[in-house]
Amino acid sequence: MVRQAWETHRLEELEPGVLRVTLPLPTGPRHVHCYLLRGEDGWLLVDTGLGLQETPWEEILAGLDGEVTQIFITHMHPDHVGGAEAAAAATGAPVVQGRLDYAQCERVWGSGDWPERIADWFTRNGVPREVSDELIESGHVFADFVRFAWNPALVEPGDIVAGWHVLGTPGHADGHLSLNRGDVLIAGDTLLTPITPAIGLYPESRPDPLGDYIETLAALAEVAPRVSYGGHGRAVTSPASRCREILAHHEERLERTAAALGREPRTGYEVSHDLFGRELAPIQRRFAVAEALSHLERLVVLGRAGRRSGDRGVAYTAPSSGGRAPL
Ligand SMILES: [Zn+2]
């Protein structure tokens, strides 16, 4: 795909009643997909891009044969929730967000000290001070891109929004929600191709996000939709087999994580070098450490690793050396 094509938004009809709006991102996969779904009394906009970019919502929505009557947020990451305030202002439509997801959204983006809180937590997981200082800075830059909508209508898994069933699909984010109608899944960042969703452990979050995600993938393989449309990359045309591929990918990464452990306690930061290499920019190191920790915590749950937590921080060992003594 030509980079040029992502420079401005694109609106495509994927199938009757399902449109895709692609917006540019300054980093990472360089684009994010939002969706417009025909609902009972208008269009449901799913996800909103970043908040500081001049997303031309009026221009995008002028091509529709009806109004946007609701805005649904799959999860609280900047490229999905960041533009919610602007989209709500452009459409006049209410924002709908998961109860747990909104609670975390407020805690992370609605408080000024999150970058410091998360940097302290990374330090406890072995990240050197100078690297976590850079994390604080990049965290503040991210926060500038997030303009979420305060006090949205709150929904839970099992609810129905504009004729679409709300599925709880935790893992990539604790409160991640997807939408299902008939044989179509709108998956947010739960099911992607060709990239695999990042599954990281973060402070003040659920303790075993990889365990959550493995359950989510097993459940989605059972739902077995015909097609799944995600937040980045291509449509997934055989979702059940993509679920199995991603499960195998994490199995393999769990093996590599277990192989990185021995008798000497090692931090998540150290293990991230085994898994993702030494040469990473601070923002990528942040994801690498969070991802290493989600795999380490999964191994602890499985009895395949020990965790030592003390004044000097958190570190992991192979299980045979025992996991309870303070550092
Ligand atoms: Zn995400």
- Find the 75 Cα to ligand 1 centroid distance in Å: 7
pTM attached to this predicted model: 0.93
pLDDT of residue 63: 81
Contact 114, 179 (CB under 8 A): no
Whether the pLDDT of residue 8 is over 70: the answer is: no
* Higher pLDDT among residues 197 and 52, named by residue: 197
Distance (Å, whole) CA 256 – CA 274: 8
pLDDT of residue 53: 65
Contact 80, 100 (CB under 8 A): no
Helix (H, G, I), strand (E, B) or coil at 181: strand
Contact 9, 22 (CB under 8 A): yes
* Higher pLDDT among residues 304 and 116, named by residue: 304
Whether the pLDDT of residue 323 is over 60: the answer is: no
- Find the 204 Cα to ligand 1 centroid distance in Å: 17
Distance (Å, whole) CA 142 – CA 81: 12
Q: Residue 230's closest CA among 82, 80, 85, 84?
A: 80
Distance (Å, whole) CA 88 – CA 71: 7
Please state, for a pLDDT cut of 70, what percent of the chain lies above it. Answer: 95
Distance (Å, whole) CA 44 – CA 39: 6
pLDDT of residue 326: 45
- Find the 84 Cα to ligand 1 centroid distance in Å: 15
Give pLDDT tens digits for 72-88.
Answer: 999 999 999 999 999 99
Q: Give how far Cα 173 sits from Cα of 65, 75, 163, 213, Å.
A: 33, 7, 24, 9
- Find the 186 Cα to ligand 1 centroid distance in Å: 14
* Packing angle, helices 268-276 and 282-301, rounded to 10: 110
- Find the 74 Cα to ligand 1 centroid distance in Å: 9
pLDDT of residue 131: 86
pLDDT of residue 1: 35
Give pLDDT tens digits for 50-76.
Answer: 986 678 888 888 889 899 999 999 999
286: Cβ–Cβ under 8 A, 6 or more apart, which residues? 122, 135, 138
Q: Which two tokens stand for residue 305?
A: 């690793």
Q: Are strands 164-168 and 177-181 parallel, antiparallel or unpaired?
A: antiparallel
- Find the 67 Cα to ligand 1 centroid distance in Å: 27
Averaged pLDDT for residues 186-208: 97
For residue 128, count other CB atoms closer than 10 A to its CB.
11
Asked if omega into 282 is within 30° of 0 (cis), the reply is no
Banded pLDDT at 6 (limits 50, 70, 90): very low
* Higher pLDDT among residues 107 and 63, named by residue: 107
- Find the 141 Cα to ligand 1 centroid distance in Å: 17
Distance (Å, whole) CA 153 – CA 221: 29
- Find the 72 Cα to ligand 1 centroid distance in Å: 14
Would the CA dihedral through 87, 90, 91, 92 be positive or negative? positive
Which backbone phi and psi does 89 adopt, to 5 degrees?
-65, -40
* Higher pLDDT among residues 136 and 273, named by residue: 273
